[in-house]
A and B are shown apart, each in its own frame.
Chain A
Amino acid sequence: MNRIPMERKVLSENDRIAAELRAIYERNGTLCVNFISAPGSGKTALLERTLAGFDAGRRVAVLTGDIQTDNDARRLARYGFPVRQISTGGTCHLDARMVQRGLEGWPLESLDILFVENVGNLVCPTSYDLGEKARVVVLSVTEGEDKPLKYPATFYRADLMVLNKIDLLPYVPFDAGLAHDNARRVNPQIEIVNVSCTTGEGFDAWYRWLEAQRVPVGAGG
């Protein structure tokens, strides 16, 4: 028997496509952000409020993934920016090929920001690089403070944690400080913003973070 050592990732095909996407984004100066959370944490609400705060001329688009329905795309399309739904038909995460197909025919050179809303799931989307520049994990105060400890892989790979629904803090036994500590234990580099998509609290910090991730047009290419 002949044993051949290998040093290759199992998802190397996904990673190859993700690298292609990343090169395209960089060439076009498009900031791609991948949103991951459990179902119901408020990814779509965060995107709705974010789009609502942009000027009409803002060069922004959204790809939103779900197992079934185009409900999210319809919700997000009301703000006048290009939106496409990726229906995975049962698959619990987006992969780079789905994003590549979802982008077909879209003029990326005319986009400054591309938001990719992953399927609601704190486990599987973690393994799949979509070519994004930044990964955002959304946690809401109606969940447990220990989610970062229960799902360390997701929080470890995120650049930013958005703690959502903070307008509900007076009504739920959720310790925001403990949630922050738990996220930083798993990932000392993680940045954190607290927001409410109902009141708009914290959106200044969220927009500031977003702008700080922007690649200047023409850079990298």
Chain B
Amino acid sequence: MHEMGIANSVLDAVRHESEIRQGARVLKVGVRVGELAAVDPESLRFCFEALVSGSDLEPLVLDLEYCPRRNRCRHCGEIFPATEFPFTCPQCNSEETVLAGGDELEFAYMEIEET
């Protein structure tokens, strides 16, 4: 239910990027959303499209990359997809593992129109 605010933050960043590049048009924005980010990608896309539609930012496109939770084993260093509790290392069976990714809510890239 807070995806509208997050979509707004994405657009603020796009406008800012455009401003510091003398008004260059941003065509595409890449955003990574982690499983633990508490953000629903579909809802974020819906809000993003609703805000862009009819605005000066059209035809801006959102490229969402969903990042599943990964853990790193404290013993052997293996990084593995952490899908089911408990998070056991597939290499050495250790249960001593720590979060290695999946809480992202960050920009990956922006594509700017060549001028």
Contacts of A95 in B (CB 8 A): 5
CB of B37 within 8 A of chain A? yes
Q: Is the CB of A91 within 8 A of B110?
A: no
Task: Categorize the interface residue count of chain A.
Answer: 20 to 34
Which residue of chain A is the closest to B2 with respect to CB atoms? A124
CB < 8 Å neighbour of B38 from A91, A149, A153, A186:
A153
Q: How many A-B residue pairs have CB under 8 A?
A: 85
Contacts of B56 in A (CB 8 A): none
- A185-206: which residues lie under 8 A (CB-CB) from chain B? 185-186
Total residues of chain B contacting the partner, CB 8 A: 31
Q: Is the CB of B38 within 8 A of A124?
A: yes
Contacts of B86 in A (CB 8 A): 185
Q: Which residues of A contact B (CB under 8 A)?
A: 1-14, 91-93, 95, 121, 123-124, 126-127, 149, 152-154, 156, 182, 185-186
List 22 A–B pairs whose Cβ atoms lie within 8 Å, in order of A's numbering.
A2-B113, A3-B110, A6-B106, A6-B109, A6-B110, A7-B106, A10-B9, A11-B6, A13-B12, A14-B9, A91-B2, A91-B5, A92-B2, A123-B1, A126-B38, A127-B6, A127-B38, A127-B39, A127-B105, A153-B36, A153-B38, A153-B103
